[in-house]
C-alpha cells in the first residue's frame, strides 16, 4: 500500500504509519511549498492513501489516482478536498477536528492579556531605551539587592502610560461556542471572567452544566461585554457578522479579539472605531487580506492594537495532535473498523 504524504507531522506520532505501507513524503512534509494541481496529480497517481494539509485534492487529482482508497486532511475542515469527486468514488475523507483548539484558545487569552495590559507596548518602549537607566545609576542596598522602583504618577510615567485593565470580574463575550470557543471560556473562567455566549446553533446541553449565559441577540452581547472574541468558520451567515452596526454597540472601554478569520469582521469599521477611540483596543491574528500589508493602519497608525501574523495554531503540539488523529484513523480504515474522524460529505 502506497501512502502519499504531504502534511506537516510529528515523527514520533507518525511511526505506526510505516507499518501500514510505503510512506512517500513530499511537499510540506519535506519543507517544500504547496504543489500546483498538475504536479500533485502526477506524484500521487499511484497512491492508495493521500494525506495532506494544504495541497488541493481536486477532481483531477482524484480521477488520476485509480487505486485511491482514502483521503486524509490534517485540518479542522477539509476545504481543500473536492468532496463531490470523493463521494462519486466512495472514497472516505478524514479530517482532524479539535487539533489546534487548545493552542488557539491559549493564544486568544494571550492576545487578551497583551492588549488589556499593554504588554507589547511596554516591551517596545524598553527596547527603544525608554524607562531605562544607565547601569552605573542602578542603586543597591547593603544586602546587594536592587532598590525597588516606585514610579510617580505624572503623565509620562510608565505606570500611567501602560496602565491597563484586569480580566477578573470582566464580561467576556464569545461569538461562536464550538471547540475553540469552549476552551477559551474554560480558561477565561479560571481568570474569574463572566461568560456571555452568542451562538445560534448552540444546543442547550452545551451550556446547562457550566456557568455561562447565552445571549439571544448579538447586539446585546456587543453592548454588554468588556471583551469580545470570535471563533467561527466562514459561512454566508458568519461573513461580516461583526458589522459596523455591531461595532457601534461596543462600550468605549471594551476590547475586540479575533483569532478566527478576518472575513467575519468589517475591518474598515473597526479601524475607524479604534482611530476615534470609540473602543479601548483590539488584538488580531487574522485579517481581511493576508499577509497583512506593510502600510496597514494596524501597523502604521494605531497605537491601541496588538497584532500577530496568523500564528494562533502554530505549536508543535498541533502537529502531534493531528498526526496521532490521522494515523489512528488510517489504522482503523486498514483494519476495517469505523473511523472516528470521517468527514460527512
Catalytic positions are: 261, 290, 310
Q: Do residues 279 and 252 lie in contact, with contact meaning Cβ atoms separated by under 8 Å?
A: yes
* 198-203-209-211 Cα dihedral, nearest 10 degrees: 10
What are the cell numbers at 247?
Answer: 461595532
State how far the alpha carbon of 222 is from the alpha carbons of 36, 47, 172, 269, in Å: 43, 50, 10, 14
- HEC secondary structure over the chain: CEEEEECCCCHHHHHHHHHCCEEEECHHHHCCCCCCHHHHHHHCCCCCEEEECCCCECHHHHHCCCCCCEEEECCCCCCCECHHHHHHCCCCEECCCCCCHHHHHHHHHHHHHHHHCCHHHHHHHHHCCCCCCCHHHCCECCCCCECCCCCCCCCCCHHHHCCCCCCCCCEEEEECCCHHHHHHHHHHHHCCCEEEEECCCCCHHHCCCCCEEECCCHHHHHHHCCEEEECCCCCCCCCCCECHHHHHCCCCCCEEEECCCHHHECHHHHHHHHHCCCCCEEEECCCCCCCCCCCCHHHHCCCCEEECCCCCCCCHHHHHHHHHHHHHHHHHHHCCCCCCCECCC
Q: Do residues 20 and 41 lie in contact, with contact meaning Cβ atoms separated by under 8 Å?
A: no
Q: d(Cα 40, Cα 214) in Å, to the nearest integer?
A: 46
Q: d(Cα 321, Cα 236) in Å, to the nearest integer?
A: 30
Amino acid at each position: 500500500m502506497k501512502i502519499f504524504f504531504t502534511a506537516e507531522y510529528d515523527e514520533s506520532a507518525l511511526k505506526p504509519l510505516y507499518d501500514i505501507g510505503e510512506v512517500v513524503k513530499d511537499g510540506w512534509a519535506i519543507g517544500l511549498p504547496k504543489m500546483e494541481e498538475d504536479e500533485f496529480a502526477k506524484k500521487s497517481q499511484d497512491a492508495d492513501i493521500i494525506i495532506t494539509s494544504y495541497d488541493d485534492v481536486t477532481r483531477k487529482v482524484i480521477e488520476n489516482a485509480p487505486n485511491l482508497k482514502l483521503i486524509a486532511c490534517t485540518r479542522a475542515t477539509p476545504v481543500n478536498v473536492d468532496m463531490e469527486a470523493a463521494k462519486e468514488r466512495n472514497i472516505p475523507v478524514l479530517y482532524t477536528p479539535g487539533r489546534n483548539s487548545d493552542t488557539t484558545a491559549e493564544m486568544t487569552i494571550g492576545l487578551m492579556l497583551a492588549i488589556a495590559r499593554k504588554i507589547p507596548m511596554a516591551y517596545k518602549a524598553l527596547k527603544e531605551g525608554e524607562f531605562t537607566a544607565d547601569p552605573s545609576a542602578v542603586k543597591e542596598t547593603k544586602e546587594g539587592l536592587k532598590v525597588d522602583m516606585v514610579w510617580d504618577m505624572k503623565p509620562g510615567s510608565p505606570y500611567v502610560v501602560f496602565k491597563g485593565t484586569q480580566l477578573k470580574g470582566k464580561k467576556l463575550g464569545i461569538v461562536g461556542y464550538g471547540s475553540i470557543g469552549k476552551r477559551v471560556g474554560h480558561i477565561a473562567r479560571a481568570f474569574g471572567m463572566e461568560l456571555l455566549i452568542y451562538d445560534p446553533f448552540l444546543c442547550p446541553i452545551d451550556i446547562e452544566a457550566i456557568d455561562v449565559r447565552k445571549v439571544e441577540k448579538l447586539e446585546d452581547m456587543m453592548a454588554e461585554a468588556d471583551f469580545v472574541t470570535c471563533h467561527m468558520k466562514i459561512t454566508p451567515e458568519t461573513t461580516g457578522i461583526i458589522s459596523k452596526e455591531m461595532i457601534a454597540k461596543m462600550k468605549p472601554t471594551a476590547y475586540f479579539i479575533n483569532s478566527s478569520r478576518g472575513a467575519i469582521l468589517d475591518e474598515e469599521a473597526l479601524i475607524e472605531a479604534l482611530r476615534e477611540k470609540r473602543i479601548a483596543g483590539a488584538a488580531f491574528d487574522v485579517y481581511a487580506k493576508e499577509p497583512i500589508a506593510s502600510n496597514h493602519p494596524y501597523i502604521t497608525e494605531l497605537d491601541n492594537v496588538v497584532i500577530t501574523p496568523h500564528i494562533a495554531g502554530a505549536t508543535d503540539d498541533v502537529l502531534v495532535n493531528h498526526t496521532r488523529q490521522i494515523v489512528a484513523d488510517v489504522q482503523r480504515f486498514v483494519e476495517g473498523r469505523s473511523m472516528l474522524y470521517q468527514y460527512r460529505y
